[in-house]
Amino acid sequence: MNDGKVWYDGQLVNAEEATVPLLSFGLQYGWGVFEGIRAYPSSDGYLIFRLKDHVNRLLRSAKLLGLEVPYSEKELYLAVCETVLANEHADYIRPIAFGGQGSSVALGTTDMPTHVAVAATRMGEYVPGAEARGIDVITSPWEKSRWRALPVTAKICGGYIASVMAKRDANRHQADEALMLNANGTVAEGSAENIFIVEHDTICTPPLSAGILEGITRDTVMQMAADLGYEVKEKEIAWDEVVSAEEVFMCGTALEIQGVRSLDGRLIGKGLPGTVTKQVISTYHDLVRGKIPKYLAWCDRAETVVKSVLI
Ligand SMILES: Cc1ncc(COP(=O)(O)O)c(C=O)c1O
């Protein structure tokens, strides 16, 4: 999966050399934060989608966790771009900052180092064939963490246990994705995606107060859909509204944007990606490949970043 080069604590090394001490807090307790970033090939080389926003979110997640990251934003931009350039055919980048091994494995230990790594791998289509048919989703029995359980707006490694279980449950039931509800019983998000429903010409998504990650793809969709002339609204969404919506789609860095074909076996709309969904998907497809001038600032060319940061 990753047999190339990994950026580990400041240097590019062979992936097999990037090892983790067994008593690391990251491994023992999930004490770490991570990101997922897409790289898209273009005629001009690799474009990294919303690099600065992902690095900002990584640092913000670390702050919420209380994890000190010993690298600047610029050093992290460089790390991401160098790693993708060092791994031919990689299209998905995974930066992670996590607690290493300290003087003790006791929970209150504070003297462990923070390790930072960036791996780049080939993801391709997250759900193969999804664009044509849409995805099948089931409601997860696992509730989205509450605000008092964990800083839910941070991408904390240990916080992903419920997401992994939800996604595996979905796959075991021949579905592609899981929908997670929050403690109030309203719709939160997917295992690693935000959700939108389409009602007439309005595109709605749950607000941050639903306990969701502030997805960068979600933000992209909101800006893009408004530019396409749709009304975009944040509102609490009930499970019933998802089933009855004209169209539903989910979005995230890995999944990109995909229409939802069914929820818990009930077909959504006509059971195929709808007109609005298709328009949003095709605009996003061009946008991330640097084909829409208005959004070019979101697409950083990896080689340019490396050159400009090194100057
Ligand atoms: C729980 C969760 N929600 C939503 C998203 C979508 O976020 P983004 O669009 O920034 O990838 C992700 C993916 O990172 C996620 O893990």
- CATH number of the domain bearing residue 93: 3.30.470.10
Residue 282 falls inside a structural domain: no
**Average pLDDT value for residue range 44-58:** 96
CATH number, position 181: 3.20.10.10
Residue 157, domain extent: 130-273
User: Does the pLDDT of residue 310 top 80, yes or no?
Assistant: no
Which of 76, 94, 121 lies at the terminal end of a domain, its last residue? Answer: 121
Would the pLDDT of 19 be above 80? yes
Distance in angstroms (rounded) separating the CA atoms of residues 212 and 196:
13
Asked if 117 and 150 sit in the same domain, the reply is no
Looking at residue 117, the DSSP 8-state letter turns out to be: E
Distance from C-alpha of 228 to C-alpha of 55, rounded to nearest angstrom: 28
Give the residue among 238, 142, 138, 144 at the shortest CA–CA distance from 182: 144
Q: Tell me if 116 sits within 8 A of 96, measured CB to CB.
A: yes
- Residue nearest atom 14 in ligand 1 by C-alpha distance: 192
Q: What angle do CA 167, 194, 240 make, to 5 degrees?
A: 85
Same domain, 147 and 264: yes
Place of tokens 């180092």: 113
Domain count, the chain: 2
The DSSP-derived string for 21-69 is -TT-HHHHH--EEE--EEEEEETTEEEEETHHHHHHHHHHHHHHHT---
By three-state DSSP, how is residue 106 classified? coil
Sequence-distant (6+) residues with CB within 8 A of 72 are none
pLDDT above 90: residue 127: yes
If asked whether residues 167 and 264 sit together in one domain, one would say yes
- Alpha carbon distances (Å) from 283 to 198, 223, 226: 17, 12, 12
Decide if pLDDT at 202 tops 70: yes
**Statement to judge: residues 93 and 138 lie in one domain:** no
What's the 311 CA to ligand 1 centre distance in angstroms? 33
Q: Which of 194, 250, 284 to mutate to test the pocket of ligand 1 (most atoms within 8 A of CB)?
A: 194
Instruction: Single out the residue of 218, 254, 301, 230 nearest to residue 47, CA to CA.
Output: 301
For residue 170, pLDDT over 70 is answered with yes
In this structure, the number of other CB atoms found within 10 A of the CB of residue 165 comes to 15
Q: Is the CB of 215 under 6 A from ligand 1?
A: yes
Residue 98 and residue 141 in one domain? no
**Same-domain status, 105 and 193:** no
Beta bridge partners of 37: 93
DSSP string, 126-142: SSTTHHHH-EEEEE-SS
Confidence label for 212 from pLDDT (cuts 50, 70 and 90): very high
The answer to whether residue 295 is domain-embedded is: no
Over residues 176-186, the pLDDT tens digits come to 999 999 999 99
Residue 250 CA to ligand 1 centre (angstroms): 10
Q: Look at residue 94 and tell me if it is in a domain.
A: yes
Q: Where are the beta strands (DSSP E) in the chain?
A: 5-8, 11-14, 32-34, 37-42, 45-49, 92-99, 114-121, 135-139, 177-181, 187-190, 194-199, 202-205, 231-234, 247-252, 256-263, 266-267, 299-301
Give the position, in ligand 1's atom list, of the atom nearest the Cα of 163.
1
Ligand 1 pocket, mutate which of 217, 219, 255 (most atoms under 8 A from CB):
217
What ranges make up the beta strands (E) of 60-170? 92-99, 114-121, 135-139
Residues forming the active site: 155
By alpha-carbon position, which residue is closest to atom 15 of ligand 1? 192
Domain boundary among the residues 121, 154, 186 is at 121
Confidence of residue 119 (pLDDT cuts 50, 70, 90): very high
User: Is 108 part of any domain?
Assistant: yes
> In this structure, what token pair is assigned to residue 68?
């000190």
Query: Quick one: 136 and 258 in the same domain?
Result: yes
Angstrom distance (rounded) from CA 99 to CA 115 = 6
CB of residue 35 inside a 6 A radius of ligand 1 = no
- Ligand 1 atom nearest to 218, measured from its CA: 9
Q: Is the CB of 101 under 6 A from ligand 1?
A: no
99 located within any domain: yes
How many Å lie between the centroid of ligand 1 and the Cα of residue 194? 6
Whether 101 shows a pLDDT value over 80: the answer reads: yes
Using one digit for the tens of pLDDT, what is the confidence trace for 238-260? 999 999 999 999 999 999 999 99
- CB-ligand 1 contact for 159 (6 Å cutoff): no
**Structure confidence at residue 147 as a pLDDT band (50, 70, 90):** confident
Please choose from 253, 256, 258, 288 the residue to mutate so as to test ligand 1's pocket, defined by most ligand atoms within 8 A of CB: 253
- Sign of the C-alpha dihedral computed for residues 203, 47, 122 and 164 taken in this order: negative
Residue 242 falls inside a structural domain: yes
Binned at pLDDT 50, 70 and 90, residue 2 comes out as low
Whether pLDDT at 311 is above 80? no
- Ligand 1: which residue has its CA nearest to atom 1? 192
